[in-house]
Chains A and B, each alone.
Chain A
């Protein structure tokens, strides 16, 4: 079984983002960037499946500008075997990314494609589902547990009402929840070794995919700020304020 894992470079989850004054987006210069957190879970799961002898190869792929390659390098350092970087500049919508990934799937013919359930920058939560639509493959979104059984996966999904379990036939797409596993850290020797692992570079323009945006981002602004509250001295004061001032209990 061969597993393709898609990873995205995003502003680090700990960074308090700032909106650009001209309203064109958020500040990304000199801001710490990392792999989208649930994409780390996707890589971890693929590597674990390989370690359990149920997969033969883990390929990490990213789509984006030059520096996006860092995310592939990181995936190689925690156990992916090789990487693919589809190079493209500018804003990419999930639809465009899923079309590019479809081309990569056509070429690589993986049995499984894993990725995070949502990117923490645009919060779209679309790419995995779109890719499975384009390939007409089954989709297991928001996975918090994956059991590999021959040519099937049993996947537990986190849904609003609780948990749902589905069985999907391979080939299939799985989008990963943060609770799927605990991503490992790359050890220094593995980081060194990862530098020797191959990363294939592909120009998006060579894939014959129209990636032009369909959406126009007219404005990005700061959300309305909450006005500062007060600190209360004790529980009695808190309850009194909730009852008589806020009138919510």
Chain B
């Protein structure tokens, strides 16, 4: 039986992690179908049909799907599930919210946040904030799997031409009503997919001081991250949080500024290719994972860092 991938999108276009989830799905079985549920989402459905790993697209349209409410999405997928061996989506807030609702309806024990497909029924996943890796075999007839997007490369996005099939909408769930979404718009790269991330912690001391980080991020074409402490303190909004309960990032370069390196923060960034730590406390745990550590006062180091960057002839973007 084929694998059913749940596409994440904004009704206009696919969200980038759909491509990572498609790769994971194709590692489970080469026969991948993808379902897209939304309102006026034809363009995104077409994009989905162009992913070479996707063999068939199922499109479900309805006004009650506009805001991706799990209570409305789950019945559609549960109904489709009889034809599939696996249901797959990303372990971001979209998938985390949705997949367990599907799994419970299917009486399946979900495997969350996998980082590797070992075989169609066996997966590797981090536990305890990534301080241990568990190899998990699922004995359920149908498997519900969420994948850690940064652990799978995005699939090719063009060249495919899968047929798009319409599927009937399910009834609206009336006890949940969408009110509003406050998205923080930014011209910077997305935190989850950025090549460089510059993150600030409690050591930044105020939201204003984050401009020191912003400047450097702009110079490097980087995304801005933060520790939970910085978000809790109100220095920066929650969508920047990196860590066990925030986002997991795997950039080529992660610069941690004024971040001590609690286990919960390391969980979100320690797979980064190169890690830089700037902290005035030489004993801070962040140095134990840093390739390059600079023991310094960030208020002196960051302006100097900016100066040094300005001296460079070229900067990779």
Binding site for B on A (CB under 8 A): 11, 13-14, 16-17, 19, 26, 38, 93-95, 98, 117-118, 120-134, 137-139, 141-142, 144, 154, 157-169, 172, 177-179, 213-223, 226, 228-232, 234-236, 238-239, 241-243, 246, 248-249
B244 touches A123 (CB 8 A): yes
Interchain CB contact under 8 A, B175 and A137: yes
Task: Enumerate chain B residues within 8 angstroms of A213, measured Cβ to Cβ.
Answer: 109
Q: How far is the CA of A216 from the CA of B137 in the complex (A)?
A: 5
Q: How far is the CB of A132 from chain B (nearest CB, A)?
A: 7
Contact, CB under 8 Å: B175 / A138: yes
Cα separation A120 to B243 with both chains bound (whole Å): 12
Which of B70, B108, B196, B232 has a CB less than 8 Å from the CB of A249? B196
Chain B 170-191 interface residues, beta-carbon cutoff 8 Å to A: 173-184
Q: Are A214 and B139 in contact (CB under 8 A)?
A: yes
Within 8 Å of chain A (Cβ to Cβ): is B212? Answer: no
**Chain B 98-137 against A: per-residue CB contact (8 Å), 1 yes, 0 no?**
1111111101111111000000001000111111111111
B177, A166: Cβ atoms under 8 Å? yes
A232 touches B293 (CB 8 A): yes
Contact of B134 with A248 in the complex, beta carbons under 8 Å: no
Are B70 and A248 in contact, CB atoms less than 8 angstroms apart? no
Complexed CA–CA distance, A59 and B97 (Å): 25
**Given A166-B177, A235-B305, A248-B273, also A123-B228 (CB < 8 A):** no
User: A95, B135: Cβ atoms under 8 Å?
Assistant: no
8 Å CB interface, B279-317 against A: 282, 287-296, 301, 304-305, 307-309, 312, 315-316
B313 vs chain A, min Cβ distance (A): 10
Q: A95-B103, A242-B274 are in contact. Are A144 and B238 (CB under 8 A)?
A: yes
B292 touches A238 (CB 8 A): yes
Q: Which 4 pairs between the two chains have the least Cβ-Cβ distance?
A: A129-B100, A214-B109, A133-B104, A130-B104
Contact among A166, A216, A241 for B136, CB-based, below 8 A: A216
Could you tell me the distance between the alpha carbons of A120 and B127 in the complex, rounded to whole angstroms? 8
Question: Judging by beta carbons under 8 Å apart, are B176 and A138 in contact?
Answer: yes
Residues of chain B in range 149-164 having any CB-CB distance to chain A below 8 Å: none
Q: How large is the interface on B (under 10, 10 to 19, 20 to 34, 35 or more residues)?
A: 35 or more
Chain A residue nearest in CB terms to B181? A164
Query: Would you call A121 and B140 a contact (CB within 8 A)?
Result: no
* B308:A235 contact, CB within 8 angstroms: yes
Chain A residue nearest in CB terms to B237? A162
Residues of B within 8 A of A158 (CB): 93, 238
Given contacts A172-B175, A236-B308, A248-B274, contact A11 B128 (CB under 8 A): yes
Interface of B, secondary structure class, is mixed
A10 CB to nearest chain B CB (Å):
9
Which residues of chain A are within 8 angstroms of B294 by Cβ–Cβ distance? 231-232, 234-235, 238
Interface contact B175-A168, CB-CB below 8 Å: yes
Q: Which of B109, B112, B182, B296 has the most CB of A within 10 A?
A: B109
Closest to B306 in A: A235
B184–A162 CB distance below 8 A: yes
Q: Report if B29 contacts A (CB, 8 A).
A: no
Tell me which residues across on chain A come within 8 A of B103, comparing CB atoms. Answer: 95, 126, 130, 133
Q: Are the C-beta atoms of B107 and A242 separated by less than 8 Å?
A: no
Q: Is the CB of A216 within 8 A of B139?
A: yes
Q: Is the pair A239, B308 in contact by a Cβ cutoff of 8 Å?
A: yes
Chain A: minimal CB distance from B121 (Å): 9
Q: Is the CB of B96 within 8 A of A125?
A: yes
* In the complex with contacts A216-B137, A235-B296, A123-B291 CB distance below 8 A: no
- In the assembled complex, the Cα of A7 lies from the Cα of B182 at a distance in Å of 30
Do the beta carbons of B289 and A226 come within 8 Å of each other? yes
Most central of B113, B292, B295, B316 by chain A CB within 10 Å: B292
Task: Give every chain A residue within 8 A of B83 (Cβ-Cβ).
Answer: none
Smallest CB separation, B108 vs chain A (Å): 7
The answer to whether A249 and B316 have CB atoms under 8 Å apart is yes
Across-interface contacts of A217 in B (CB, < 8 A): 134-136
* A138 and B173 within 8 A (CB): yes
Compute how far the CA of A217 lies from the CA of B133 in the bound complex, rounded to whole angstroms: 10
Q: Is the CB of A166 within 8 A of B178?
A: yes
Question: Is the pair A125, B100 in contact by a Cβ cutoff of 8 Å?
Answer: yes
Q: A214-B108, A220-B132 are in contact. Are A248 and B196 (CB under 8 A)?
A: yes
Q: When the two chains form the complex, which single residue of B122, B176, B308 contacts A218, counting CB atoms closer than 8 Å?
A: B122
Whole-angstrom CA separation of A236 from B303 in the bound complex: 12
Q: Which residue of B lies closest to A246 (CB)?
A: B274
B294 smallest CB distance to A (angstroms): 5
- CB contact under 8 A between A129 and B101, given known A164-B181, A235-B304: yes
With contacts A123-B113, A166-B178 taken as known, whether A232 is within 8 angstroms of B292 at the C-beta atoms is yes
B44 within 8 A of A: no
